[in-house]
Structures are given as C-alpha cells and as structure tokens.
Amino acid sequence: MNAPRRALVVIDAQQEYFQGPLTVQHPPRDESLARIAGAMDTAADAGLPVITVQHETPEGAPVFAPGSEGWKLHPEIERRASSASKHVIKGYSSVFAAGDLAEWLRANGVDTITLVGYMTNNCVLATAAAAEPLGFAVEVLSDATGAIHLANEAGKVSAQQVHETLMVLLHSNWAAVTDTATWTEAVSATKPLDKSDLGTSAVQGQSAN
C-alpha cells in the first residue's frame, strides 16, 4: 500500500464551542483541545500541510458572527494558525464548501485528510462524507473532536452517545478512526491507518449484538 500524502484539517476550533449552547460536552473539551493542538504540532514537525477552518454566519447572527468572540479561533489554535498552510472560511457544514480547498489539496499532492476539530455530529461528519466522491481518503482522530447533547422532536441523545456512535459509523465506511497517539505513530512511519468497511462492520455487528 502506498504511503499516504496527508494534510491535517483543523475544523472550527472556535470559541463558540467553549461557551454557550454549542459548548462541546464529550470528550471533555479541554482534553480534545489539547489533542488538536498536539496534532497541529505533530503535523508541523512532520512537514504536513495544515489547513485551519473557521465557520462564519451572516453579520448579526447569534453564533459565529464575523468578529464576535465566539467566531474567533481558540487562543491555543490561533497561535499555531499563523504557520498553517491555508486558512479557509466556510458557511456550510462540509469544509469542501469553502472555495477551492479540494483543488488546493490536489495541487499540493494530498490524497488523505486527517480531520480534527468540532463538531463530530456536524462538520466532521459532513466533511468525511463529502470527501468520498472527491476521491480523498479520510482519517478522524476520535480524541481530537467532540460532540454536544442533542434533543428535538425525534428524541434526545447524550454527547457521549452521539460521539461514540458516529465514530463507529465513520469507521464503517467514510474514515479510518483512531486516536491521536496512534495517528502520530502512523505519521512518523508514513503508514496508512487501518479502516473497516460496511460489510465487515455489519458482520461484526451481528456477532456483537
């Protein structure tokens, strides 16, 4: 198997996820933030491209309004972002809705994107799914992203249930899911991560339940 040509994509590591209704609940946000920062340091040391992503809504919106405190990158990410290879602003869940990102990745020889940031249940999920028809392999670092509690007319679910369920779902089809320490070892060895598939996951699911 060929060595992956990786880029680290840091999705929406913004203050909005550390305050108010969108505060990340699982994994603990301070822990996931430390893993995101660590992944950025690993990528920089390995010479991997780092793309920082920032979500933005129209002026005056209650969340992610440009220039607002919640819109800003977390200080731990902001101080590393100055050396990032590319910064993009998006208004939709998938990072690929942000201008020329897919073309930029191809032009820079990237075939594998590693996703960290927020949230598991929105932009990470949407980006992983959107990468499939574009031909990019996806890695998701389970301890460097996070989810929120959700409730609506369809029911309610805890952040832990959301996060753990989506990690299994992603690994069954759209992404190789692992933790930051294992990814760091794979980066050092320039090796791909193991990934499951839908058929295998279904067979194992029958045995497990």
Q: Domain range holding 194?
A: 6-208
Q: Which of 78, 77, 75 is nearest to 116 (CA)?
A: 77
How high is the pLDDT of residue 1? 62
Contacts by 200-209, CB closer than 8 A, 24 or more apart: 201/168, 201/171, 201/172, 201/173, 202/172
Q: Please name the residue that has the structure tokens 């932009």.
A: 123
Q: Is residue 1 part of a domain?
A: no
Q: Is residue 179 part of a domain?
A: yes
Overall domain count for the chain: 1
Q: Please name the residue that has the structure tokens 């991560």.
A: 193
Q: Is residue 82 part of a domain?
A: yes
Q: Is residue 186 part of a domain?
A: yes
Bridge-based pairing of strands 112-118 and 176-178 is unpaired
How high is the pLDDT of residue 99? 81
- The structure's pTM equals 0.95
Which of the residues in the chain have pLDDT under 50? none
How high is the pLDDT of residue 88? 95
Q: Which of 193, 198, 196, 169 is nearest to 180 (CA)?
A: 193
Looking up residue 47, the CATH number of its domain turns out to be 3.40.50.850
Q: Is residue 187 part of a domain?
A: yes
**Contact 16/128 with Cβ under 8 angstroms?**
no
pLDDT tens digit string along 41-74?
A: 999 999 999 999 999 998 888 899 999 999 999 9
Please give the positions annotated as active site. 12, 90, 123
Q: Is residue 77 part of a domain?
A: yes
**Residue 5: Cβ-neighbour burial (10 angstroms; 0-12, 13-18, 19+):** middle
